[in-house]
Structure 1
Amino acid sequence: MTSRAHPFMPNDTDDRKAALLAVLGLDHVEPLFAQIPAAHRLAALPDLPPALTSEVELARYLKQTLARNRPAADGLSFLGGGIWQHHVPAVVDEIVGRSEFLTPVWGTPSSDFGRNQAWFEFTSQLGALLEMELVGLPVYSWGAALGHAARMALRLTGRRRLLVPAAMCPQRRAMLDGYAASVDPAMQILVEAVPCDAAGRIDLAALGAMLGDDVAAVYYENPAWLGGLETGAAALATQAHGAGALVIAGIDPSCLGVIAPPGALGVDIAVGTIQPLGIHMHAGGGLGGFIASADDPRIAAEYPTLLNSLATTVDGQMGFGLMLFHQSSYGSRELGKDWTGNSTYLWAIAAAAYMALLGPAGFAELGRLILARTALLADTLAAVPGVTVPVTRGIFKEVVVDFAGTGRDVASINAALLDGHDILGGIAIDTHRALFAVTECHDEADIARLGAALAEVLA
């Protein structure tokens, strides 16, 4: 008996499936999924609720589900660690909402000149911030960019060891480990952690002891996950290059108005996030990672991303288009340098608009303001009885707070802040330490409110 079509999936009837399989010359669907490892597949269907068969039911269900959210922007949030509550100018939202940017996410490499020009503006402006000539279109996240860069370093050097800070965002480290544990033995990477100080900065003496002629690259972050600005970046690059290793730097671009860019510090490949560049804190989205380098043909040949460039048209005019398309997974599928996707290309438009609005003076102003707010947050929390702030200066956006002296754990403190004061506290580093983030969206009153609420919760 032929099953009836699902209202939202009209091609799922038995006769339609049979017709599709016949065109493919198959009797069943199993060969279509043979490349998926058995460990990644369900042995049996999960116990799912009944299908929603009407749009009315679906709309009601989605509204009820969304109503359970407590958006960070609706209260006072000190969450950070990789995605932050930055101000997004209204004009950025207006631009990314326009149909000419929403709809032409994809086309042929030589079409859509307006879209290609907008992408070129993104890569050019970000390259100017980083002082690096070559910037790819964004990948899924900072962690994905790091994973790609690590594999680029392996291909460039033929070496397998990657040295990274011991203090890394757990999600970012998990993504890196996923890339390192490739199903292809030739692309497997040994990731080793280098000791760090209390602000997450790499211990240069420990790094020197770990370097060898089998190290493909050294990775550091500026600022570090725990907030520390990496003052030893130039010395780190000298050490790494002396051992024949590449240098990969993870960058939060919102700090580039107040610190030296990676291009001036001997960095070979820069990666990082574009979320601070005009992108809201979306649940399940709003992320994007970049990869940048010098315009070195050897490095360019290892990019897995799409690369945008200028070209001369047949009538002698200037045009914009994609280059080295063949080496991406779009051009060569599984034979490409790595798999990449286009889910974040709209955020390149947002970032281009944001960077154009701020300009160099705006980035400097933003950086100075966040530095001041970070110092104020550190001093305010350090003044709360029983609370310890290990590092109060030389940090950007993130403050490590130690509650061990209060006898309370982070989970209970955060629950009390949320339930009693409508404040989202910091991200737990461990049982007693948390990472509190501050941006230009927090004023002095917000920070004072957090200090008073913590004092009350811990009293």
Structure 2
Amino acid sequence: MEKQRAHPYIPNSDPSIKEQLLKAIGVSDVEELLVGIPKSLRMDRRLNLPESYESEFELKRHVQQILNKNSSCDENLSFLGGGCYQHHVPAICDEINGRSEFLTAYAGEPYDDHGRFQTLFEYCSMMTEMLDMEVVNVPCYDGYQASATSVCMAGRYTNRSKVLVSENINPDKFSMMQTYCRANVELIKVPMLNESGLLDQSVLKSMLSDEIAAVYFEVPSFLGQIEDGQILSDLAHAAGALVVVSVNPSSLGSIAPPAKYGADIVCGDIQPLGIHMQYGGGQGGFIASHDNPDMIAQYPSRLFGIIPTIVDGEYGFGDVAYDRTSFGKREEGNEFVGTAAALWGITAGVYMALMGPHGMQELAEGILQKTKYAMNAISKITALSIPFSSQYHYNEFVVNFDKTGKTVKQINEHLRSKGIFAGHDLSESFPQLGQSALYCFSEIHSQKNIDDLIAALKEMTK
């Protein structure tokens, strides 16, 4: 008979305590509690799990051995991007978001949780200033959800059922948006121009009609280019459609915010604002708009502001227009609020407060300069070419390897052996670009880092 013993991580699992619990509820065995479950639905064997470790130390060592198989961007030189970026994270960001009142607080009420509510209010305030908008939500799950929710908001606001989406979008994001939006709006891709990679404006104009709720594009695009937002906005507005723009917030110190060229809804991911890459995580979605009550009614996520309390003349921080959320309307809500990424909102707020306007400008200008330096250096390698090189790029650009006779996978494997994480492979998601990869550059890359990449590419392409 198997020896019964207490489980180190499960409360009240000591055999004597279990016996007392069973006696208190009037049963002799746990099996008596399961009689209502048909045998056909019950597993008749033990779970196929490895033997348990006898001590916490053994378990820790086992997990550490698994983790040691990972090779991180801290140990290697990385030029990967495509939606999750390696930036410098000031130590104060980790210090503040590690405080117990923030790290362990998922929910709370405005009158017993002022610290967390105020930090999120300050985050929203700084985001509105940077985006030149008046309303910003408490972060939703990630930038993908922010994009999906934004086009759904546009559909509800206009009472139209179709959204035009630029082809130069991250294919994974587009797939997620299709899944999320399928019950509300139809997403239709607008092709990009082969020579520039930008949205085809003439085709866009021909596709606009009174069925189109919004035109969605990104600045920078997934491929790194800067669209002419004013022209696209003018075309959309002339057809009665809204303009939804997804933006990389780190670019806003140098590139005009979408509100300046006509965006009605702006969305994106705050990961570039002081948040580490975490196995694809560390994401938080933002949605912004002007202070239009009808548009505000379309937000499913929480909005924080300064509101009056029950004490006359006293104010506090809390939810604004709470009744429009699924918390207030339940199944009648526009969308379910879902999982918030409030901790990352606090982190981004700390980052923006630390950087200030001049710091954000320095960040964006530095990234623009390093991106241009890398483009110029790679373009001098005879066997390589840079599609869309005539366009302005921020953070990322495409490199084509067709002339080398090698695949992106082969190139990446070679560079990996030299401690370099090379570009994001585009050969499947954008087959029209051939054997191409997306290379990312940020403020963490020194000139020597870029020169080391160039040297490795030259060696590989000889």
Into which bin does the TM-score normalised by the smaller protein fall?
Answer: 0.7 to 0.9
The verdict on how the C-alpha distance between 1:331 and 1:365 changes in structure 2, with shifts beyond 3 A counting, is same
| Structure 1: distance between partners of 2:333 and 2:301 | 10
Equivalent position SS for 1:379? helix
Equivalent residue for 2:262, pick from 260, 266, 270: 266
Residue correspondence of structure 1 range 408-447 to structure 2 within 5 A:
408-419=406-417, 421-430=418-427, 432-447=435-450
Question: CA-to-partner distance for each residue in 1:218-239, whole Å, 9 max, x for gaps?
Answer: 1010011101011x21111111
Structure-1 separation of matches of 2:182 and 2:45: 28
Question: Aligned partners of 1:239, 1:97: CA distance in 2, in Å?
Answer: 46
2:84/2:280 contact within 8 Å kept: no
CA displacement at 1:199 relative to structure 2? 5.3
Q: CA deviation at 1:337?
A: 2.0
Residue 239 of structure 1 is matched in structure 2 by 235
Q: Give the Cα–Cα distance (whole angstroms) in 2 for the partners of residues 53 and 195 of structure 1.
A: 56
Code of the residue aligned with 2:249 in structure 1: it is: P
Letter matched to residue 142 of structure 1: G
SS in 2 for 1:72: coil
Cα displacement string for residues 364-407 of structure 1 (whole angstroms, at most 9, x for unaligned residues): 11111111101111111111231001233510000100001111
Contact 1:402–1:433, Cα closer than 8 Å, also in 2: yes
The TM-score, its normalising length taken from structure 2, stands at 0.87
Aligned CA distance change for structure 1 residues 388 and 322 (closer, same or farther; 3 Å): same
2:197·2:388 contact (CA, 8 Å) conserved in 1?
A: no
Q: 1:245 to 1:52 in 2, by over 3 A?
A: farther
Give 5+ residue unaligned stretches, structure 1.
Answer: 20-24, 31-40
CA deviations on 1:334-386 (whole Å, 9 max, x unpaired) are 43221233451111111001111111111111111111101111111111231
Q: Which residue of 2 is the match for residue 141 of structure 1?
A: 142
Amino acid aligned to 1:113: H
In structure 2, the gaps of 5 or more residues are 26-32, 429-434
Q: 1:328 to 1:7 in 2, by over 3 A?
A: farther
SS at match of 1:256: helix
Which of 381, 384, 387 is matched with 1:384 structurally?
381
2:286 equivalent to 1:290: yes
Structure 1 CA distance for aligned equivalents of residues 48 and 164 of structure 2:
44
Whole-angstrom CA distance in 1 between matches of 2:221 and 2:152: 22
Counterparts in 2 of 1:79 and 1:144: CA distance versus 1, 3 Å: same
Give the Å deviation of 1:266. 1.2
Identity among equivalent positions (%) equals 41
After superposition, residues 279-318 of structure 1 pair within 5 angstroms as 279-313=275-309, 314-318=311-315
Q: Are residues 1:361 and 2:364 paired?
A: no
* TM-score normalised over the length of structure 1: 0.88
The SS at the match of 1:159 is: coil
Please tell me whether the aligned partners of residues 124 and 136 of structure 2 are also in contact (alpha carbons under 8 angstroms): yes
Deviation at 1:279, TM superposition (A): 0.3
Q: Indicate how the Cα distance of structure 1 residues 133 and 385 shifts in structure 2: closer, same or farther if over 3 A, else same.
A: same
- Show CA shifts across 1:54-104 (max 9, x none): 444532332122111111122100000111111111111111112222233
Does the alignment pair 1:450 with 2:446?
no
| Structure possessing the higher radius of gyration over alpha carbons | 2
- Which position in structure 1 is the counterpart of 2:245? 249
Tell me how far apart the structure 2 counterparts of residues 47 and 266 of structure 1 sit (CA, whole Å).
Answer: 57
Q: Matches of 2:161 and 2:58 in 1, distance apart? A: 53
Deviation of the 1:26 alpha carbon? 11
Query: Which piece of structure 1 moves more, 150-159 or 196-205?
Result: 196-205
Q: Distance in 1 between matches of 2:304 and 2:150?
A: 18
1:52 alignment partner in structure 2:
52
Distance, in Å, in 1 between the alignment partners of 2:239 and 2:45 is 52
Q: SS at the partner of 1:250?
A: strand
Instruction: State the partner residue of 1:34.
Output: none
Separation in 1 of the partners of 2:409 and 2:242?
40
Mapped pair 1:211 → 2:208: yes
Q: What secondary structure is seen at the aligned counterpart in 2 of 1:216?
A: strand
| Counterpart residue type for residue 375 of structure 2 | A
Q: Measure, in 2, the Cα distance between the counterparts of 1:111 and 1:173.
A: 40
Whether the aligned pair in 2 keeps the contact of 1:73 and 1:85 (CA below 8 Å) is no
Query: Structure 2: how far apart are the matches of 1:69 and 1:385?
Result: 34
How far does residue 122 in structure 1 lie from its aligned partner after superposition?
Answer: 0.5
1:131 paired with 2:132, answer yes
Contact (CA 8 Å) 1:165, 1:200: kept in 2 or not? no
Tell me the number of residue pairs that the alignment of Structure 1 and Structure 2 aligns.
437
Q: What is the match of residue 68 of structure 1? A: 69
Whether contact under 8 Å (2:265, 2:287) holds in the other structure is: yes
Whole-Å separation in 2 of the counterparts to 1:108 and 1:357: 28
Offset at residue 300 of structure 1 (A):
0.6
1-structure distance, mates of 2:239, 2:46: 52
Summarize the Cα distance change of 1:444–1:218 in structure 2 as closer, same or farther, 3 Å threshold. Answer: same
1:112 to 2:113 alignment:
yes
Asked if the contact 1:199–1:400 (Cα under 8 Å) also holds between the matched residues in 2, the reply is no
SS at match of 1:201: coil
Shift of the 100–379 alpha-carbon distance from structure 1 to 2, 3 Å rule, reads: same
Output the CA distance in 2 between the equivalents of 1:26 and 1:243.
61
Distance across 1 between alignment mates of 2:340 and 2:369: 35
